[in-house]
Every structure is written in C-alpha cells, then in structure tokens.
C-alpha cells in the first residue's frame, strides 16, 4: 500500500489511482481551467463533503484570481443512491453574472449534478461548468456535460481522497477500492 494508515488500509482491496497519478492529472486540468477562465469572474463551488480534498488540491494549481464557495448536498445512504438531492447548505454568495465551476469528487448516476446545474443556472450566472475527479459512467441516468474530467473509472465502490463509505476513509491519500466484506454484512 502507498501510505502508512494501517487502520484504514486493511479495508482497501486495491489502489485504483495513486496520489501521484491524481496530482499529475490535476495539473493538466488546472492548466486548462487557467486558460479557459482568463479574464472571467470565476467562482469555484465545491460540493461537500466528497469534493473537499480534490478541490483544495485543484485550486492551488489554478493561476487565476478566484472566489470559493461551498454547497452541502446529500443523496446517498450506504452504497445506494436515493435519487433525491437534499441541499443541506446553499451558496453564501450571489452568482449572478459569474462563471461558476462546480467541483465534484465523482459523477455516478448524474442525479446530483443534474439537479445542481439546473438550480444554479436559474440564478443567472454567466456560465456553469463541471469539474469531476472521477467519472463512473455505468449507471448514468442523467445527461451531464463534464467539461473537466479527471479519470473514468469502472463500476467499483471507491473510497479515499475525499470519498467515503459511511463517512469513513475520506482521509486516505489515494483512490482505493473498498473490500466487499466491509459493506456486505451491513446492507
Ligand atoms: C456523492 C458524490 C456526488 C454524488 C454523485 O455524494 O460526492 O455528490 O454522490 O453521485 P450521483 O452522480 O449518482 O448523484 P454523497 O451524497 O455520497 O455525499 P458526500 O459528498 O458527502 O460523500
């Protein structure tokens, strides 16, 4: 295993993306974002909690003045999506006329981003685009335009680098696959 977190790592089946692979990809994405948003009024909106780690690494590679904000939404209980998007915390600023970049850790069914982009577009921003570290297309039900994609991943239950299982494992420095036995007996 990559790091020294044995309490967490005993539940990891395999490492899918190392921290080094992630940082290299973020550099490429951040360079594109820097180019695309030059002269624009950029506000980066992190969708908590999953995007926290990705967002903090990504913004430190973007060479532009930018504003930050966060939303807290939730649609999952355990490993299953509920299909309902709850806004637990809304934006704290007005996005009228601003260029919004939504930052997500994972695009799965698309339910979350479908609802969020529609909601934010109704507030008259100049633009709304999406950056997602991971794209898991197998169960997509909504048509989502993903402008900045980190990695396409297979249909496995991934944890780490912000992603959780029952609120745990977010602090692993890489993306790993959770051992089935960890969630098999619980659902
Ligand atoms: C996860 C993830 C995305 C969403 C993606 O959030 O962070 O917001 O699910 O899935 P979808 O494309 O099927 O909608 P979750 O509800 O687990 O909350 P979290 O970010 O706090 O972990």
Dmax of the chain from CA atoms?
Answer: 52
pLDDT reported for residue 42:
98
> Whole-angstrom Cα distance, residue 63 to residue 60?
8
Q: Is 81 in the pocket of ligand 1 (CB under 6 A)?
A: yes
- Give, using CA atoms, the residue closest to atom 21 of ligand 1: 49
pLDDT reported for residue 65:
98
Question: Pocket of ligand 1, candidates 112, 114, 159: which has the most ligand atoms within 8 Å of its Cβ, to mutate?
Answer: 112
> How many Å lie between the centroid of ligand 1 and the Cα of residue 16?
19
> Whole-angstrom Cα distance, residue 69 to residue 78?
27
Ligand 1 atom closest to Cα of residue 76: 16
Best CA proximity match to 18, nearest among 39, 43, 1: 1
- Give, using CA atoms, the residue closest to atom 8 of ligand 1: 112
Q: Which residues, 6 or more positions from 16, have their beta carbon under 8 angstroms from its beta carbon? A: 153, 156, 158, 174, 175, 176, 177
Q: Which residues, 6 or more positions from 140, have their beta carbon under 8 angstroms from its beta carbon? A: 107, 108, 109, 110
Do residues 103 and 53 lie in contact, with contact meaning Cβ atoms separated by under 8 Å? Answer: no
Q: Is 117 in the pocket of ligand 1 (CB under 6 A)?
A: no
Catalytic residues: 108
Pairing between β-strand 158-159 and β-strand 175-178 as defined by DSSP bridges: antiparallel
> How many Å lie between the centroid of ligand 1 and the Cα of residue 163?
9
Q: Is 108 in the pocket of ligand 1 (CB under 6 A)?
A: yes
Inter-residue long-range contacts of 152-160, CB under 8 Å, 24+ positions, other chains counted: 153/16, 153/17, 156/16, 157/79, 157/183, 158/16, 158/106, 158/134, 159/12, 160/12
Q: How many CB atoms lie within 10 A of CB 141?
A: 12
Q: Is 74 in the pocket of ligand 1 (CB under 6 A)?
A: yes
Q: Which residue has the tokens 């550099």?
A: 27
> Whole-angstrom Cα distance, residue 12 to residue 126?
42
Backbone angles phi, psi at 59, to 5 degrees: -65, -25
pLDDT reported for residue 77:
54
Best CA proximity match to 23, nearest among 50, 52, 53: 53
Written as tens digits, the pLDDT of the chain (187 aa) is 566 899 999 999 999 999 999 999 999 999 999 999 999 999 999 999 999 999 999 999 999 999 999 999 977 555 555 666 889 999 999 999 999 999 999 999 999 999 999 999 999 999 999 999 999 999 999 999 999 999 999 999 999 999 999 999 999 999 999 999 999 876 5
> How many Å lie between the centroid of ligand 1 and the Cα of residue 173?
18
Q: Is 134 in the pocket of ligand 1 (CB under 6 A)?
A: no
pLDDT reported for residue 74:
78
pLDDT reported for residue 44:
98
Do residues 157 and 178 lie in contact, with contact meaning Cβ atoms separated by under 8 Å? Answer: yes
């Amino acid at each position: 295993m990559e790091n020294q977190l044995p309490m967490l790592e005993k539940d990891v089946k395999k490492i899918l993306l190392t921290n080094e692979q992630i940082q290299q990809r973020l550099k490429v994405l951040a360079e594109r974002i820097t180019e695309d948003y030059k002269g624009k009024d950029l506000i980066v909106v992190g969708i908590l909690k999953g995007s926290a780690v990705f967002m903090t690494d990504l913004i430190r590679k973007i060479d532009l003045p930018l504003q930050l904000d966060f939303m807290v939404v939730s649609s999952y209980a355990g490993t299953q999506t509920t299909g309902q998007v709850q806004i637990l915390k809304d934006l704290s600023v007005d996005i009228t006329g601003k260029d919004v970049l939504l930052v997500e850790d994972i695009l799965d069914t698309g339910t979350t981003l479908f609802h969020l982009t529609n909601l934010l577009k109704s507030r008259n921003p100049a633009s709304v685009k999406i950056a997602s570290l991971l794209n898991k297309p197998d169960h997509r039900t909504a048509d989502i335009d993903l402008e900045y994609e980190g990695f396409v991943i297979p249909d496995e239950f991934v944890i780490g680098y912000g992603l959780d299982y029952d609120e745990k494992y977010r602090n692993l420095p890489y993306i790993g696959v959770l051992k089935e036995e960890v969630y098999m007996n619980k659902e």
